[in-house]
Amino acid sequence: MIINCKELANKIKKRAVEEAGGKKLVLHAIIAGEDKASIVYAKSKIKTLRKLGFDGEIDKVNSEREMLKKIEELNGRDDVHGIMVEFPLPKRYDAIKVHSAISPIKDVDGMNPVNYGYLLLGHEILTPNTPRAVIRILESITDIEGKNVVIINRTPVVGKPLAMMLLNRHATPTVCHSKTKNLKEKTKSADIVVVAVGHANFLTADMVRDDTIVIDVGINVVDGKLQGDADFEAIEKKAKITPVPGGVGAVTTACMVENLVKAAKLQGVI
């Protein structure tokens, strides 16, 4: 009952490499200060890019002003094809200002309001990678049209864009959050449950039916090990579920590579 996400991730990366046609595309990841988790995530993305014949660099900045200046510089450079900002940003940074500063055609995170607005209008140009990874996983195992999908997350990075992507594919999304009442009733009636709460074992086996597809976006460290938001062992016995690690995260990284290639196409370099 475990959904094979690694194979899908490899397929997405292989297609992206083919589409790049040998062009060495370059991504820059900007990090505010010395946030250790951000540095680990950025390094791992760059490692993936290098394995595929692309390249990446990390730019560390110490203030919002420096970040905006760096973005302006990278926007103007022909040897930079994608720009990402590692989140979470320190509270004193204005995230919308930062996202808005990135050129919409180098916006590998799909968070510039122009790209976000296109998504809302039903045109998916450069879209956020995690919700797109969820869509890719679902498309690899089921027909999305007409499905009732419960998303437990309403953030701009996961729940909101995912709801738009599902509507674009004729599904019926229900977006739940910390103030949602009778959550179990909702998850029980769903064909698909996407959980992204950030609490290990949040989604228990009694919250889903036998024929439910569970997509676990959560990443938690429990006793030094990575774990999702679902009670994987119990749910895996009765329903289809993505693993953590090697699930949504692996496909998200592949989608990042896909977006770098899409961005390069928008810039007319491939």
Nearer to ligand NAP, 16 or 194 (CB): 194
Is position 257 an interface residue for ligand NAP (rule: CB under 6 A)? no
- What DSSP element (H or E) covers 118? helix 113-120
Is position 8 an interface residue for ligand NAP (rule: CB under 6 A)? no
Tokens of 2: 């475990």
How many residues are present in the chain? 270
Nearer to ligand NAP, 168 or 174 (CB): 174
Is position 155 an interface residue for ligand NAP (rule: CB under 6 A)? yes
- What DSSP element (H or E) covers 10? helix 5-20
In 3D space, the residue among 125, 75, 60, 71 whose CA is nearest the CA of residue 95 turns out to be: 71
Burial class for 50, CB neighbours closer than 10 Å (0-12, 13-18, 19+): exposed
DSSP class of residue 189?
T
The size of the interface with ligand NAP (CB under 6 A), counted in residues, is 24
Is position 161 an interface residue for ligand NAP (rule: CB under 6 A)? no
Burial class for 129, CB neighbours closer than 10 Å (0-12, 13-18, 19+): buried
User: x/- string (CB under 6 A) for ligand NAP, residues 166-205?
Assistant: ----------xxxxx--x------------xxx-------
Is position 219 an interface residue for ligand NAP (rule: CB under 6 A)? yes
Nearer to ligand NAP, 68 or 176 (CB): 176
Is position 239 an interface residue for ligand NAP (rule: CB under 6 A)? no
Is position 127 an interface residue for ligand NAP (rule: CB under 6 A)? no
Query: How far apart are alpha carbons 239 and 246 in whole angstroms?
Result: 18
Among 249, 254, 256, 258, binds ligand NAP (CB under 6 A): 249
Which residues here bind ligand NAP, judged by CB under 6 A?
A: 130, 152-155, 157-159, 176-180, 183, 196-198, 217-220, 248-249, 252
